[in-house]
């Protein structure tokens, strides 16, 4: 657990340290916003490069608060806190990757992301797919809680519906992660974005429907025993 907290802390503050070190070498004006066509829509001060690292720290503090809350409300062990930390680590790693990518576009003043070696959508969704593989593997280990996991009014009916829902959610996350990685390898730009968002939407819909069906199944079996 201590090792995970150290990695968490490094990933939370590393973007800020890197950007502060890079600031003297950045051009005064950098690409501050890109449109869906991958073209620059606004130029801004190089100090705007600090926004993403600051957002990373805010996200890290929020995820740490979630981990502490999970530990405080877990009756035995630290399983949920551990899952929160793992989820936080992969989330912060994504923000570190984004920071590195945008430092590259800032330094070279890239006006068209399509000309970059890696498309930002490919980078983000490819890594996000990898994150989903990791999350899918830890989801079945979650104990019932009010913060993390596949939580619906149906999945939280009882321990049985919770365990089955998390197991199903873990499998669907792994499948979705694989599909997103493949999509990010085969498509770029808006097509990659729309395809990956579609995969996420389908995954969410299927997961919610499953929790409803499994809750109905246990309600019927319970009524039959009575």
pLDDT digits (tens, 9 = 90+) for 49-65: 999 999 999 999 998 88
DSSP H or E stretch at residue 33: strand 29-34
Cβ-defined contacts of 180-184 (< 8 Å, 24+):
180/125, 180/126, 180/128, 180/129, 180/132, 181/126, 181/129, 181/130, 183/125, 183/129, 184/121, 184/122, 184/123, 184/125, 184/126, 184/129
Whole-number Å distance between alpha carbons of 7 and 21: 21
pLDDT at 204 over 90: yes
pLDDT of the residue at 221: 63
pLDDT of the residue at 223: 47
Instruction: List C-alpha distances in Å: 161 to 184, 199, 211.
Output: 34, 24, 7
Show me where the domains of the chain are located: 1-114, 118-226
Q: Tokens representing 182? A: 């493949």
Residue 145 binned pLDDT confidence (cut-offs 50, 70, 90): confident
pTM: 0.77
Instruction: List C-alpha distances in Å: 155 to 87, 125, 140, 195, 210.
Output: 20, 27, 13, 28, 9
Q: Tokens representing 48? A: 């705007």
Whole-number Å distance between alpha carbons of 166 and 172: 10
143 vs 185, higher pLDDT: 185
Instruction: List C-alpha distances in Å: 137 to 21, 166, 169, 175, 214.
Output: 36, 10, 10, 11, 21
Q: Tokens representing 148? A: 């993390």
Whether 156 and 212 have beta carbons less than 8 Å apart is answered as no
For the ranges 34-43, 68-77, 135-144, 188-197, the lowest mean pLDDT is seen at 68-77
Mean pLDDT of the chain: 87
């Amino acid at each position: 657990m201590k090792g995970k907290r150290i990695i968490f802390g490094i990933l939370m503050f590393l973007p800020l340290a890197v950007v502060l070190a890079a600031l003297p070498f950045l051009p005064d004006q950098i690409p501050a916003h890109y449109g869906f066509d991958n073209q620059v829509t606004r130029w801004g001060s190089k100090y705007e490069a600090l926004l993403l690292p600051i957002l990373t720290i805010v996200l890290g503090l929020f995820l740490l608060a979630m981990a502490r809350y999970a530990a405080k409300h877990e009756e035995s062990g630290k399983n949920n806190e551990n899952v929160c930390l793992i989820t936080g680590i992969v989330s912060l790693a994504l923000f570190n990757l984004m920071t590195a990518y945008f430092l590259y576009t800032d330094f070279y003043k890239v006006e068209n992301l399509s000309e970059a070696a890696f498309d930002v959508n490919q980078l983000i969704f490819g890594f996000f797919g990898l994150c989903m593989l990791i999350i899918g593997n830890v989801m079945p280990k979650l104990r019932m809680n009010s913060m993390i996991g596949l939580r619906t009014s149906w999945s939280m009916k009882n321990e049985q519906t919770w365990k089955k829902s998390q197991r199903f959610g873990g499998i669907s996350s792994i499948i979705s992660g694989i599909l997103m990685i493949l999509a990010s390898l085969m498509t770029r730009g808006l097509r990659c974005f729309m395809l990956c968002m579609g995969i996420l939407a389908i995954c969410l819909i299927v997961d919610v429907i499953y929790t409803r069906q499994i809750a109905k199944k246990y309600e019927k079996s319970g009524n039959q025993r009575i």
